[in-house]
Amino acid sequence: MTTNPKIEELFSNYRKYMGESPGGFLGLLNPENLETGDPKSLGKEIQIGSGILESGINGMHFEPMELEKGKAGSRLKEAVRIYGLMGEEIEQMTENQPRDYHLYVIAILIDITSSLLNHIEISQE
């Protein structure tokens, strides 16, 4: 599956505009890996992103009720853990998925999440 050229262009423009800023996830992504769809490289990058998100979440204060099953804290922690495990599974795959639009969508969503966590951290200082 290949992506719509407009999606690729939107992602590329966003990446160029934002650059590699501290706390941004996109600085970790090698655009070549998105273009080639190499699962080994993408899996590793997802695991790194998961680690960054996990660090941000672990630095957050949650009320005890937020850590109950199904609540915000437990959902964030478990989702990031699963994201890392998915990265491990992707790393084991052998078939390239060049320019798959899902990869661009995932990368943008992770950058949004990472940026939100950075904002929360800064506002709590």
pLDDT string in tens for the chain (125-residue length)? 556 677 778 877 887 777 766 555 666 666 777 778 888 988 898 898 889 889 888 888 889 999 999 888 888 899 899 989 998 998 998 888 877 767 777 877 887 787 788 778 777 76
Q: Which pLDDT score, from 0 to 100, does residue 29 have?
A: 66
Q: Which pLDDT score, from 0 to 100, does residue 59 have?
A: 85
Q: Which pLDDT score, from 0 to 100, does residue 21 have?
A: 60
Any idea where the domains of the chain sit in the sequence? 5-123
Q: Which pLDDT score, from 0 to 100, does residue 97 have?
A: 80
Number of CB atoms found within 10 A of residue 62's CB: 15
Contact criterion met (CB below 8 Å) for 25 and 111: yes
The CA distance from 51 to 109, in Å, is 15
The CA distance from 52 to 50, in Å, is 5
Q: For the whole prediction, is pTM greater than 0.75?
A: no
The CA distance from 88 to 73, in Å, is 23
Q: Which pLDDT score, from 0 to 100, does residue 113 have?
A: 84
Q: Which pLDDT score, from 0 to 100, does residue 68 have?
A: 93
